[in-house]
Structure 1
């Protein structure tokens, strides 16, 4: 479906619904197509996705750094 900018302003929610249902929606300036409305892929975020898959102990961020780590951090090594 191709619509003019004026028609897109008037019918934006209908055009969004059409794009979400898989229809190609193009907005034209005059007769020249300039933009396309496409749905954004929704991905679900799952907390704990890697639970049980990561082994070993990670770094302890509350432990003080040793002298070598401090030197590396400060760029003097």
Structure 2
């Protein structure tokens, strides 16, 4: 099954849930990732329920807080 992940076409063996997809692609720190499926954010509590389909576009990203850095 073909899907698009972060702008690149990928092949996966079958329809997977978002949680399974993150595991399949060995995404680091999956508890800190946000997922967009076909332009819509997927709530973390839905990662085990939402399945991807042929041709879906998935983006995952990490949101990091910024802060100051003092140089001496």
TM-score of Structure 1 vs Structure 2, range by shorter chain = under 0.3
**More helix per residue:** 1
Answer 1 or 2: which has greater strand percent. 2
TM-score, scaled to structure 1: 0.25
**TM-score (normalizing by structure 2):** 0.25
